[in-house]
Amino acid sequence: MDRKKFLKASGIGLGIALVPGMIQCQSVSANNDYSDKTEPKIIKDEEGNVLNVIGDIQTHKLVGSETGSQIVEWVDNVGPGVGIPPHIHTKEDEIFRVIKGQVEIMVDGETTLLNEGDVAFAPKNIPHSWTVVGTENAKMITSAFPAGIEHMFTELSQLPPGPPDFQKVAEICAKQGITFV
């Protein structure tokens, strides 16, 4: 069989094989929370919703209501010694990208120093933590998917100033399926 006939024959076969699956995917996606009415968005560095989440200064750039609940992304801008203790997510995966400073991150018991440009992936159900090290502030882009965790951060940011009540923090985090280890 020559190339044109092969492509024509295999293209028809592929179309017959894929169309039922594509139809099924469309009907499945109609039943979830994802919106197909998302709009493009440009967010400048100085833009976003700034939250002080127990000392973690987060600027939320994209939230679930803007991404069809697929992803939330924020920028952490924090000083040396600030971090998040070991914890486990049961709902979302996270990606951490350091763009300034140094962050020591632990994922599944392995601790690594992240420098500018380094990335770490922490899948759900895997313990992880991070702490800013060195003498300068760190700036880190964090993405979580699917979205939803931004609601927890909003609630945490509304706690009274001062040392946090760890029991209250744990209760708020538990509603998002996050436990401290």
pLDDT at 80: 97
The two beta strands, 102-107 and 49-53, are unpaired
Please tell me the pTM assigned to this model.
0.79
Helix (H, G, I), strand (E, B) or coil at 127: coil
Residue of higher predicted confidence among 32 and 105 = 105
pLDDT at 147: 98
* pLDDT digits 0-9 by tens, 57-95: 999 999 999 999 999 999 999 999 999 999 999 999 999
With bands split at pLDDT 50, 70 and 90, how would you rate the model's confidence at 32?
very low
